[in-house]
Amino acid sequence: MSAASNGRTATRERVTTWTGQGIPRKEDDRLVQGEGSFIDDMGMQGQGYAWFVRSPHAHARIVSIDVSPALALDGVYAVLTGEEAKSMCQEPFFRIAPGAASHIEEWPLAVGKVRYQGDAVAVVLADTRENARDAAELIEIEYDPLPAVVDGVEAAESSAPILHEEAGTNVAWNGVFNYGDIDWALENADHVVKIDRLHFHRFSSTPIEAAGAVVDWDVGSGVVTIHTNHQMPMFAAMFMGPTLGVPINKFSFSSRDIGGAFGTKIGFYPQLAALALLSKKAGRPVKWTEYRTENLLSSTHGNERTFLDIEVPVMADGTILGFKTRAYDDVGAYLHYEPLGGVIWSQVLPGCYKLKHIKVDYSATLTNKCPVSPNRGYSRMQHLWLIERIVDTVARELGFDPIELRKLNFVQPEDYPYETPNGCVYDSGDLPRSLDMALELVEADYWRARQKELGKGKGKRIGIGVGSTLDSGTNNFGQARIINPELPFSGNGEAAIAKLDLYGEVNVNLGTSPQGQGHETTAAQVAADILNVSPDKVTVSIGFEQANNSYIGFSGTYASQFAVTGLGAVMGAAQKLRDEILEVGAYALGLSKDEVELSDGVCVSKNDPSKSIPFIGIANLVYTNNAVLTPELREKVSLTCRYVYTPPFQVPDTDRKWGNLTLTYASQIHACVVEVDEETGEVKILAYAAVDDCGRRINPAIVEGQVHGAAGLGIAAALYESFDYDEDGQLMQPSFYEYHVGTALDIPHIRTSYIESPSPFTPNGAKGMGEGGGGALHAVCNAIQDTLDKDDAIVYDSHNSWERVYDLLKSGERQAPRGVSVLSRVSGS
């Protein structure tokens, strides 16, 4: 058997456990052969096609809507407007925010007012998608435009136009996170580095498959069937149920293959609700496939955050004591998952460092822009970028080597488990070693020498930057109470079912809705080890079906947690199933349970291999031959085993904003070498490396794929991708002509390596990973910084277009404000 030609069979001979092997993904055969089924492949008998009518204005009162010209068009089945949709609902969508923002009402379609360009005003159903679009163009809507606010900081000012009058403010949430004693630290530090403003820009992950759904509200049974590529369908169900007046068990959600989501497919439940109502009204199934421009305008953007008045106390030896800042998170026009982002970042409060004194005055503000909801690295990436910018700026201003300064301030290997100032517990890791490995991989010494050789003024400059970041995984949903103490959420978990089917087939199903993370493969690997079969013999159900799959309220694929929660559930379920198989097998062989074991699909006597019964025989006894079993065994065994994994969390202390907010902390160190063109500001990446430590890796090839993906998205965000609005609230990048997505042509070769620091807190030593903590954004920004002169401005934005880099290169010569100042109380350093 050739190892090269068939990895799957070849490894079978050699391995002792499947866990830890980079076996090819079960999903790949169908996906690479174009045999996946995505949302646009789905359909129902008699379906119509939906088209959303979207506002061209950023902010306007809806004066009137005349749908009659659309209805007059042949083939148009129905039109639903915001007012009518509201009248069909029981209540507005569930509100997470407390206080003023708890009065904000969001309905499936805009009612009375539109609040961003792309806000859905009505939805049309017709016999073809194109006809629906034609009809949508005929709807006559009169708008009374209002002034728009497009800046997250300005939105908080009293002069700003208010988006939601019922709240009376654009500040959706404000909280002060204050740990240690920052005032003391600022008074006693040897240096205080002040940075005026840092801005983390708006972008999104633009999955190759946009959102979509086929929805049928069956009036007879009351069942609302929803095929969709939503990545957290039962979360959508919890939001939609009370609004639509549909009990959870009258929803029938399902998904199959999903062409990427990255968090951006959590926020579109209002669209799903509108489609459900449209189906109810029209009395037929409704199919909706989001267009690219629709996706860019109105699906989901990532959080844009501005940090003001950053002050960093630093001791003469380089010890950074902490920092303070005011943060304004621009969450767009509606609160779809927000203001949860207001606490999520605090999972990584001090970043990779032993910072003790931290104060962040955080506001989430509403603006006339596309609503945000989670996007790969959600809310932590923004904060980690801030910290990486702080560390690099401190190094540069005070004359430290940025590498050595990091190492000095890192949480050290012997510090784990490390409690952060806000009560989070970093589980394990070795940051200094990861950093050394990344530098070696990227050949930093070689590039340092080249950089010196090349110098400045010769047309090209070289810069080297690193990004140290954390990928916190397995949220404690109790942190939501720090936003709103009334919220009945805490803990986390996931469900799985392991089952022996009628002819002895092993089947696993999950509560998750994967979008490329390879859950079928890793679930099979883990179950295979426990049941002692090959992963080829474990069928993992594709996608999610509410009717068949097990789930809990947290189920879904999001937030770097599957390796812990999902596989924790698979392990528990597989162990239960193993127990039952052993029990039935032992009975059938006339042995006791501890005298038998499982081997390659058979239950066999440990002492006498000739005595065995295959899984099919065991299935037969339970499913179709149960009179031969004892009544006790019949009672005990079902061969369908559900297990819910729950992490050991407690409810955080909401007054102190203190508690363990996440179970695991994977780390990633990125290192990047850039070449900057002095004449144009163009940035080219010459070398790139990432070192990942996500504890025990279940499937190293999948881990590596995730590292590549996160690096690619981060590089593209840092250099190419940005959503900008003009002052009237018009999106300037509504298509891929303007929004240049980083492709294989742009993303450099990425060298990867790893450390495995097993998590002591998880059932398998694994840590959640995948989001990647924005490591590439940090590294690229820091590398650009490294090309600049001492009197140039600092890199102040996470997005660096050629023009912005060009301006930075010229800033010293133009005597532009540098954006940073230092107050020193000691001399000589």
Partner 1 sequence: MLLKSVEYVRPDSVAQAIEILNSNEGAALLAGGQSLVNILKHRVASVDVLVDIATLEELRFVESRPDGSIEIGACITYDELDHSELIHSSHEMIAWVASHIEDQQIRNRGTIGGNCCLSDPTNNFPPLLVAMDATMNIQSSSGMRQVRAEEFFKGYLMTAIQPGEILKSITVPPVPADVGIGYVSLSVGEDSKAIVRSSAWVKLNGVVQEARVVLARVSPIPVRYQPMEEALRGSSATPEDIARAASVIGSDFEPVADSHGSSEYRREMARVVAKRAVLEAVEKVRGEGGSK
Cβ nearer to partner 1, comparing 187 with 738: 738
Residue 738 C-beta: closest distance to partner 1, Å: 5
Residue 76 C-beta: closest distance to partner 1, Å: 14
- The footprint of partner 1 (CB under 8 A) covers 128-131, 133-134, 137, 679-680, 682, 719-720, 724, 732-733, 737-738, 740, 742-743, 745-746, 801-803, 806
Cβ nearer to partner 1, comparing 445 with 803: 803
Residue 749 C-beta: closest distance to partner 1, Å: 14
Cα–Cα dist 396/387, whole Å = 14
Cβ nearer to partner 1, comparing 740 with 751: 740
Query: Which helix (H) or strand (E) is 716 found in, with range?
Result: helix 700-719
Cβ nearer to partner 1, comparing 627 with 745: 745
Kindly state the DSSP code that residue 329 receives in the 8-state scheme: E
Kindly state the DSSP code that residue 250 receives in the 8-state scheme: G
Residue 725 C-beta: closest distance to partner 1, Å: 10
Cα–Cα dist 603/114, whole Å = 64
Residue 562 C-beta: closest distance to partner 1, Å: 32
Cβ nearer to partner 1, comparing 49 with 328: 49
Alpha-carbon radius of gyration of the chain: 28
Cβ nearer to partner 1, comparing 572 with 709: 709
Query: Which helix (H) or strand (E) is 174 found in, with range?
Result: strand 171-179
Cβ nearer to partner 1, comparing 293 with 824: 293
Give, in order, the Cα–Cα distances in Å from 622 to each of 334, 500, 506, 530, 549: 53, 10, 14, 20, 21
Matching residue, tokens 């708006």: 202
Kindly state the DSSP code that residue 99 receives in the 8-state scheme: G
Cβ nearer to partner 1, comparing 4 with 745: 745
Cβ nearer to partner 1, comparing 650 with 743: 743
3-state secondary structure 344-364: HHHHHCCCCECCCEEEEEEEE
Q: Please, is 743 exposed, middle or buried when counting C-beta atoms within 10 Å of its C-beta (0-12, 13-18, 19+)? A: exposed
Cβ nearer to partner 1, comparing 287 with 380: 287
Structure tokens of 476? 């404690």
Provide the β-strand partners of residue 224.
217, 251
What φ, ψ does residue 557 adopt, rounded to 5°?
Answer: -120, 105
Give, in order, the Cα–Cα distances in Å from 148 to each of 113, 571, 576, 748: 12, 52, 58, 39
Which stretches of 578-700 are assigned E, i.e. beta strand?
Answer: 596-599, 602-605, 612-614, 640-645, 662-677, 683-693
Cβ nearer to partner 1, comparing 91 with 803: 803
Residue 273 C-beta: closest distance to partner 1, Å: 27
Cβ nearer to partner 1, comparing 457 with 631: 457
- The secondary structure of 450-473 as a DSSP string is HHHHH-SSSSEEEEEEEEEEEEEE
Residue 10 C-beta: closest distance to partner 1, Å: 36
Residue 804 C-beta: closest distance to partner 1, Å: 9
665, 769 contact by CB (below 8 A): no
Neighbours of 632 (CB within 10 A): 9
Cβ nearer to partner 1, comparing 505 with 677: 677
CA 793 to chain centre: 32
291, 210 contact by CB (below 8 A): yes
Residue 505 C-beta: closest distance to partner 1, Å: 43
Residue 747 C-beta: closest distance to partner 1, Å: 10
CA 461 to chain centre: 35
Cα–Cα dist 161/59, whole Å = 9
327, 83 contact by CB (below 8 A): no
Cβ nearer to partner 1, comparing 696 with 740: 740
Cβ nearer to partner 1, comparing 597 with 678: 678
Residue 499 C-beta: closest distance to partner 1, Å: 45
Residue 569 C-beta: closest distance to partner 1, Å: 41
Residue 732 C-beta: closest distance to partner 1, Å: 4
Residue 114 C-beta: closest distance to partner 1, Å: 21
What φ, ψ does residue 658 adopt, rounded to 5°?
Answer: -135, 135
CA 740 to chain centre: 21
Give, in order, the Cα–Cα distances in Å from 571 to each of 11, 115, 508, 762: 22, 47, 10, 12
Neighbours of 790 (CB within 10 A): 9
What φ, ψ does residue 125 adopt, rounded to 5°?
Answer: -120, 130
Dihedral over alpha carbons 343, 345, 351, 356 (to 10 degrees): -20
Residue 138 C-beta: closest distance to partner 1, Å: 12
